[in-house]
């Protein structure tokens, strides 16, 4: 499973990239607004921090304007991935971009039927929002399982399932068991994956015993 970082915090992205755990980055207008940075400059910097795709989201609502915005974003770096909403105009833009060899991340997916449409339009990634579904007592992980089965039924569909709106390590565990291709995580969720009280307890015991030996490795 690939890990993307869902963040516009370049310091956090760089820190996690040093672990080898960053396979790409996703951004959205809300994250960009929170950063207070110029959008194009921000995307350019993020693209230097990972060789993987960096999702830059359009803000236009009609296909022609989406493609115009994409024309401004694609030259920023070779690893820019255009992010569009799951609307009919978004799907039109997806088809046009995919036909020209560009990767597209179709976002705000909340149903298996939507995911099927995005795949048929040529999306490189589909982003189902599991956390937001959980918020309304719907089955976010059930949606991931449904999309996985549908895509597996039709090998010609090459769209990768990018689990979004991740809220906890449990979302990651279940996504990996289902066979999702990618999960995009806030930095704090990725860091939390390593935490376990028995690891901390075991390390504490090992260090205490080592100190009793009076030795030093260096």
Q: Which residues are catalytic?
A: 83
DSSP 134-198: HHTT--HHHHHHHHHHHHHH-TT--PEEEEBS--SHHHHHHHHHHT-SEEEE-HHHHHHTT--HH
Q: How far is CA 154 from the centre of its chain?
A: 23
The burial class, CB within 10 Å (0-12 / 13-18 / 19+), for 14 is middle
Three-state secondary-structure class, residue 3: strand
């Amino acid at each position: 499973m690939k890990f993307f970082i869902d963040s516009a915090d370049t310091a956090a992205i760089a820190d996690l990239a040093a672990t080898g755990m960053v396979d790409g980055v996703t951004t959205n207008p809300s994250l960009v607004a929170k950063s207070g940075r110029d959008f194009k400059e921000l995307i350019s910097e993020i693209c230097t921090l990972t060789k993987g795709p960096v999702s830059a989201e359009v803000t236009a609502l009609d296909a022609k304007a989406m493609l115009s915005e994409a024309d401004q974003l694609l030259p920023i770096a070779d690893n820019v991935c255009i992010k569009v909403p799951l609307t009919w105009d978004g799907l039109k833009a997806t088809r046009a971009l995919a036909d020209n060899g560009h990767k597209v991340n179709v976002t705000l997916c909340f149903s298996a039927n939507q995911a099927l449409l995005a795949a048929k339009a040529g999306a490189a990634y589909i982003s189902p929002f599991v956390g937001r579904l959980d918020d309304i007592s719907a089955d976010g992980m059930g949606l991931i399982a449904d999309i996985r089965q549908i895509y597996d039924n039709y090998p010609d569909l090459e769209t990768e399932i990018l689990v979004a709106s991740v809220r906890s390590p449990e979302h990651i565990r279940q996504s990996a068991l289902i066979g999702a291709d990618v999960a995009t995580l806030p930095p704090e969720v990725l860091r939390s994956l390593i935490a376990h009280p028995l690891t901390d307890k075991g390390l504490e015991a090992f260090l205490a015993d080592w100190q009793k030996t009076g030795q030093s490795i260096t």
